[in-house]
Amino acid sequence: MIELWNGLLKAVELIVTLDPEVMEIAGRSLRISVTSAILASLICVPLASIIHFRQFRGKRFLINLIQTFYSVPTVAIGLFVFVFISRAGPLGWLGLLFSPAAIVIGQMLLVTPILLGLVISALRGVDITLIDTARSLGASSFQTTLVVLREARFAVMVAIIMAFGRAISEVGISLMIGGNIRGYTRVITTAISLETSKGDLELSIALGIILISIALVVNIVLNRIQQR
Amino acid sequence: MALIETIDMWQRRDGRDILRNINLRIERGEVFALIGPTGAGKTTLLRLIDLLDEPTSGKIYFNGVDTAESPAVRLGVRRRMAFVLQKPVVFNLSVYDNIAYALRWRGMRGSKLREKVEHIIDVVGLSDYHGRNARNLSGGEVQRVAIARAIALEPEVLLLDEPTANLDPLSAARIEELISSIIRQYATTIIMATHDLLQGQRLADRVGVLMDGELLQAGSARDVFASPRNKEVAEFVGVENIIDGVITSSEDKIVTIESQGRSIEAISDYLIGEKVCACIRPEDITLSLTRISSSARNFFEGEITWLVDVGPLTRVEIQCGFPLVALVTKRSAEEMKLARGQSIFVSFKATAVHVTKLQKHKIKNMERRII
């Protein structure tokens, strides 16, 4: 118990004094996960719009499938990406393994189902009369899509923030294809995992507090958005 | 060339005919009111005209161009029209942006856009609501935004679907006033759907009666009201005295209609043996306490069954073999001391009787009636 208490005190000290290592790891985590969430959004928001607005065979099945992948294990994604980008893999020549870029790719894959699914539900939530209204005012089908996206903007933002939350809190992908290399690919979650196993609880707790604070901020922002 | 012309247009949904054989011509600059009861197909017809939906069969020409040609043609034509939906929804944006939105789609930017939007906001009387989110407006204000959004586009055709249906009487009156000022100011072609015949009469040059998916009659509101084409139309336009009968004699267009043992004389081309109904407007019926001599060919004795005041008039219901409704001024009702159960003489001229078909004429697939 004493050990935990000391750890906690030390951790607060690390945060308050803006310890370079803690800040560096936290900063990297944020950079990587924000990048993943944004890049994935750039792909998923248009893709979700296409899925929502087009009528095609197997649409229901596809949406069910997307929802099934909400809870895909991070290690499964880690393994999948690893197979592709490892030296012997088809994309091995890119030399991406154990790089921040690899983590970004993995996290993008991880959040894709959540983003697609939530954006599709966001679009579904828009009053169908609004589509008629846009068309009757002379919107082309592209402009109509933009109208609907704009109308669903808060729900779409919620989807993006949820995706970010999922990305920053995962550990399997960062560990397997990031490699937890100090000063290069070490992020909050992998650092906590390593330091804890080493018995260095102070750093772990400090990073844990930061991670929870990020989660808290994300939640506050989400609540604010949902109230609008 | 008509601005809009529909040819043999049918719309089927779930095995049901929503619209049957619509042949409608709308001239440029005309204000046309589509009247009919709820569920008659008015909205469906407006949606087809606005090219939001495609008809099951038939054609729609806009200014002579076949609108089925390509999606690009449809978009181009749709951009020359604007449609205010029955329950208008506003974008979750400010009043200003709601109106500016569709103008931006057409490439309008900068000060030109700003001036235009400001002007329209003024026209519809929403200057105080400029930056307010349109979602927080009342029903009447939302309707104003919807109309503003539409007229800002300077459409060649403005389509209005029941523009006052969901509003309280005061807001409805204001919207109607706005529409009539738009009619005067912009001289656009307007097609509006309404279940309110009087509104159609107040605003439109021409009304068309749509019932059960068929355009039954079109013409000036006065004509439709005075000479409904059949019993259904007569009932819809509020003809109060509709008496079913059979023509038993015909001489020089003066016919005798037998109904419940009484004979009514009227002017008509219908032949002996045809089932018809006689429509008599309440204000054309004269009441008297004694048998009077007049030029009126129809004279019956009856009994007053009900009396009720409507504004300055008194509505008198009489049973004289068939039920009749007459309107007299309140003063004459008092002078004559009209009361329930009293016997009374009614008279009306043969020319006051409009004879119309009893049965609805069923439209067949190949038949065309241009309205």
Would you state the torsion angle of the CA atoms of residues B6, B10, B14, B15, taken in this order, to the nearest 10 degrees?
180
Select from B18, B31, B34, B32 the least CA-distant residue to B194.
Answer: B34
Query: HEC profile for chain A?
Result: CHHHHHHHHHHHHHHHCCCHHHHHHHHHHHHHHHHHHHHHHHHHHHHHHHHHHCCCCCHHHHHHHHHHHHHCCHHHHHHHHHHHHCCCCCCHHHCCCCCHHHHHHHHHHHHHHHHHHHHHHHHHCCCHHHHHHHHHCCCCHHHHHHHHHHHCHHHHHHHHHHHHHHHHHCCHHHHHHHCCCCCCCCCHHHHHHHHHHHCCHHHHHHHHHHHHHHHHHHHHHHHHHHHC
Cβ–Cβ of B102/A132 closer than 8 Å? no
Q: Using CA atoms, how far apart are residues B191 and B202, in angstroms rounded to an integer?
A: 14
Which pLDDT belongs to residue B365?
46
* pLDDT bracket for residue B64 (50, 70, 90): very high
Select from A164, A42, A57, A67 the least CA-distant residue to A118.
Answer: A67
Q: DSSP 3-state assignment of B198?
A: helix
Q: A61-69 contacts: CB < 8 A, separation 24 or more?
A: A63/A117, A63/A120, A66/A113, A66/A116, A66/A117, A66/A120, A67/A113, A67/A117, A68/A113, A69/A112, A69/A113
Q: Using CA atoms, how far apart are residues B74 and B70, in angstroms rounded to an integer?
A: 6
Q: Using CA atoms, how far apart are residues A94 and A101, in angstroms rounded to an integer?
A: 11
In terms of phi and psi (left: phi > 0; alpha: psi -120 to 50; beta: otherwise), the region of B47 is alpha
Q: Using CA atoms, how far apart are residues B181 and B175, in angstroms rounded to an integer?
A: 10
- Is residue B46 less than 8 Å (CB to CB) from chain A? no
pLDDT at B296 over 60: yes
CA distances from A208 to A1, A227, B29, B307 (A): 18, 29, 72, 86
DSSP B139: H
- Is residue B150 less than 8 Å (CB to CB) from chain A? yes
Chain B residues close to A138, C-beta within 8 Å:
75, 78-79, 82, 102, 105-106, 153
Select from A27, A46, A75, A43 the least CA-distant residue to A207.
Answer: A27
Q: Using CA atoms, how far apart are residues A119 and A145, in angstroms rounded to an integer?
A: 13
Q: Which amino acid is at B281?
A: R
B211 contacts B36 by C-beta, under 8 angstroms: yes
Strand partners, B34: B193, B208
B295 contacts B283 by C-beta, under 8 angstroms: no
Strand order across the beta sheet in which B353-357 lies: B262-267, B254-259, B241-251, B275-280, B353-357
Q: What percentage of chain B reaches a pLDDT higher than 70?
A: 96
CA distance A136 to chain B (A): 6
- Is residue B306 less than 8 Å (CB to CB) from chain A? no
Residue B329 phi, psi (nearest 5) = -70, 155
- What is the tens place of the pLDDT at every residue in B155-165? 999 999 999 88
Select from B43, B48, B83 the residue whose CB has the most chain A CBs within 10 Å, as the one to mutate to test that interface. Answer: B83
Cβ–Cβ of A130/B82 closer than 8 Å? no
Q: What is the mean pLDDT of residues B108-124?
A: 92
**ipTM given for this complex:** 0.77
Q: How many domains does chain A have?
A: 1
pLDDT at B260 over 90: no
B192 contacts B204 by C-beta, under 8 angstroms: yes
pLDDT at B127 over 60: yes
- Is residue B271 less than 8 Å (CB to CB) from chain A? no
Name B237's Cβ contacts closer than 8 Å, sequence gap at least 6: B197, B209, B224, B225, B228
Cβ–Cβ of A136/B92 closer than 8 Å? no
Which pLDDT belongs to residue A8?
85
Residue B122 phi, psi (nearest 5) = -65, -45
Q: How many CA atoms lie within 13 A of A220 on its CB side?
A: 5
Residue B154: closest C-alpha in chain A:
A137
Q: What is the mean pLDDT of residues A206-221?
A: 91
Which pLDDT belongs to residue B366?
46
Q: Using CA atoms, how far apart are residues A163 and B41, in angstroms rounded to an integer?
A: 46
Strand partners, B251: B254
Residue B174 phi, psi (nearest 5) = -65, -40
CA distance B163 to chain A (A): 15
pLDDT at A185 over 70: yes
Which pLDDT belongs to residue B290?
86
Which pLDDT belongs to residue B292?
79
Cβ–Cβ of B102/A130 closer than 8 Å? no
Select from B237, B240, B273 the least CA-distant residue to B255.
Answer: B273
Give CATH superfamily name and number for B4-226: P-loop containing nucleotide triphosphate hydrolases (3.40.50.300)
Residue B46: closest C-alpha in chain A:
A136
* pLDDT bracket for residue B297 (50, 70, 90): confident
B62 contacts B223 by C-beta, under 8 angstroms: no
CA A126 to chain centre: 25
pLDDT at A1 over 80: no
B350 contacts B298 by C-beta, under 8 angstroms: yes
Select from A126, A128, A131, A136 the residue whose CB has the most chain B CBs within 10 Å, as the one to mutate to test that interface. Answer: A136
CA B61 to chain centre: 23
Q: Using CA atoms, how far apart are residues B224 and B198, in angstroms rounded to an integer?
A: 12
- Is residue B99 less than 8 Å (CB to CB) from chain A? no
Could you tell me the residue ranges of all domains in chain B? 4-226, 231-357
Distance linking the first and last C-alpha atoms of chain A: 44
Cβ–Cβ of A136/B87 closer than 8 Å? no
Q: Using CA atoms, how far apart are residues B88 and B41, in angstroms rounded to an integer?
A: 18
Chain A residues close to B106, C-beta within 8 Å:
138
* pLDDT bracket for residue B232 (50, 70, 90): confident
Which pLDDT belongs to residue B94?
94
Q: What is the mean pLDDT of residues B290-313?
A: 88
Q: Which fold has domain B231-357?
A: OB fold (Dihydrolipoamide Acetyltransferase, E2P) (2.40.50)
Q: What is the mean pLDDT of residues B320-336?
A: 90
Cβ–Cβ of A133/B50 closer than 8 Å? no
Chain A residues close to B79, C-beta within 8 Å:
138
Select from A137, A143, A144, A149 the residue whose CB has the most chain B CBs within 10 Å, as the one to mutate to test that interface. Answer: A137
Residue span of the structural domain in which A23 resides: 2-227
Chain A residues close to B70, C-beta within 8 Å:
none
Which pLDDT belongs to residue B9?
95
Residue A24 phi, psi (nearest 5) = -65, -45
Strand partners, B328: B314
- What is the tens place of the pLDDT at every residue in B73-98? 999 999 999 999 998 999 999 999 99
Cβ–Cβ of B52/A143 closer than 8 Å? no
Chain A, chain B: beta-carbon pairs less than 8 Å apart = 52
pLDDT at B18 over 90: yes
Q: DSSP 3-state assignment of B324?
A: strand
B97 contacts B132 by C-beta, under 8 angstroms: no
Cβ–Cβ of B102/A147 closer than 8 Å? no
Q: What is the mean pLDDT of residues B189-217?
A: 91
Chain A residues close to B149, C-beta within 8 Å:
137
User: Of all helices (H) and strands (E), which one includes residue B123?
Assistant: helix B110-123
CA distance B138 to chain A (A): 18
Q: DSSP 3-state assignment of B15?
A: coil
- What is the tens place of the pLDDT at every residue in A34-84? 999 999 999 999 999 999 999 999 999 999 999 999 989 999 999 999 999
Cβ–Cβ of B89/A147 closer than 8 Å? no
Query: How high does pLDDT run on average in chain B?
Result: 89
DSSP B341: T
CA distance A132 to chain B (A): 7
Residue B166 phi, psi (nearest 5) = -100, 20
Residues 58 to 97 of B: which have CB under 8 A from any A CB?
75, 78-79, 81-83, 85, 87-89, 91-93
Cβ–Cβ of A138/B85 closer than 8 Å? no
B23 contacts B2 by C-beta, under 8 angstroms: no
Chain A residues close to B48, C-beta within 8 Å:
none
Which pLDDT belongs to residue B321?
87
User: Of all helices (H) and strands (E), which one includes residue B17?
Assistant: strand B16-26
Nearest CB to B82 within list A127, A137, A151: A137
Q: Using CA atoms, how far apart are residues B160 and B46, in angstroms rounded to an integer?
A: 8
